[in-house]
Amino acid sequence: MIKVLVPYDFSEQAQNALNFTTGLADKITGIHVEVIHVMEVPYVSNIGTMGGGAEMPEIENQIFFLELREKRAAQIEELKKAHEGKNYSFNAKLKLGNAFQSISESIVEENPDLVVMGSKGSSGMEEVLIGSNTEKVVRTATCPVVTVKASTDPGSLKKIVFASDFKEDSDEIARRMKNLQGLFNAQLYFVVVNTPANFETTRESIKRINLFAKTYGFEGVKAEIYNSRSEESGIIEFAEDIDADLIAMATHGRTGFLHLITGSIAEDVVNHAKRPVWTLKVK
């Protein structure tokens, strides 16, 4: 069974992610969809000038929260009923706490094969800001993450761009790329983005791409070199130029100070690309 975890905040973007996931059942048999909705408990600071006090929820917020919790619980049950008798199994649950923390805990508890997320959530207390947590999940998830921004039919994914520098061997990423290619019967584009700050000749880049393809037994792959001002813009521009259906990337999942210094190309692409992005954290 293939388990897919879908963080869900009842926004349009979250529904796009859920529809994408259920659409995968037409491609893959034996899919289980696990939906998680996280409600953040409202707190206000009651810390005095002398450092005393504690964080306590206001009465008005408590009442609103209890009413919203009851509403969400009912919606979760409606969601479960709506997905009964489909060609996939389905479950949905409500969690209380911090959105990113709860999603991370669910990834550990559920051990999914894939996480599918909407890349933009609604604002305000009414909705959990799933979108604002997407890049954190991309950075830390132990399984692949697909980020969806618009309504997308998985059956339409026929052009996949895999962006890399191809300088590091990775059995895991190569295996998953071959699986993606086979699953969607897609044309794979291996692309290296050449920038002024990190220039190399086309001959060098093509040689490395071909070596990667030969090492891992890829067939029918198109090797491309794309010149741009930055890796992020180059990946997005190349995908737009060939009208790609999906961008695939590896991320090293840097956190803390190192992440602040180096950032993450994958997270930047997830934030700015209009098309779905598949990411995998590699060591």
Q: Which residue has the tokens 């891992």?
A: 216
Q: Name the nearest CA neighbour of 214 among 166, 260, 246.
A: 166
DSSP output for 132-146 = HHHHHHHHH-SS-EE
pLDDT category, 254, cuts 50, 70, 90? low
How high is the pLDDT of residue 280? 92
Token pair recorded at residue 112: 């999914």
Please determine, for residue 182, whether its predicted confidence score (pLDDT) is greater than 50: yes
196 vs 254, residue with greater confidence: 196
Rounded Cα distance, 180 and 160, in Å? 9
pLDDT in tens, 19-37: 999 999 988 999 999 999 9
Mean pLDDT of the chain: 86
Please determine, for residue 161, whether its predicted confidence score (pLDDT) is greater than 50: yes
Output b/e per residue, 198-224; b: 16+ Cβ within 10 A. eeeeeeebbebbeebbeebebeebebb
Please determine, for residue 129, whether its predicted confidence score (pLDDT) is greater than 50: no
Give the residue-averaged pLDDT of 111-122: 82
Token pair recorded at residue 247: 């961008």
Q: Name the range with the highest mean pLDDT among 132-136, 187-191, 198-202.
A: 187-191
134 vs 131, residue with greater confidence: 134
227 vs 134, residue with greater confidence: 227
Rounded Cα distance, 266 and 235, in Å? 10
Give the residue-averaged pLDDT of 178-192: 95
pLDDT in tens, 44-93: 555 444 444 455 556 667 778 888 889 999 999 999 999 999 999 999 99
Please determine, for residue 259, whether its predicted confidence score (pLDDT) is greater than 50: no
Q: What percent of the chain has pLDDT over 70?
A: 84
Q: Name the nearest CA neighbour of 37 among 106, 123, 88, 125.
A: 106
| Strand-pair category, 187-194 with 222-227 | parallel
Residue 185 has phi, psi (to 5 degrees) of 50, 50
How high is the pLDDT of residue 181? 94
Which domains occur in the chain, in start order? 2-44+49-148 (3.40.50.620), 157-281 (3.40.50.620)
Question: 165, 194 in Cβ contact below 8 A?
Answer: no
Task: Return the bridge partners of 145, or none.
Answer: 115, 279
DSSP output for 146-213 = EEE-S---GGG--EEEEE----S--HHHHHHHHHHHHHHTPEEEEEEEEBTTB---HHHHHHHHHHHH
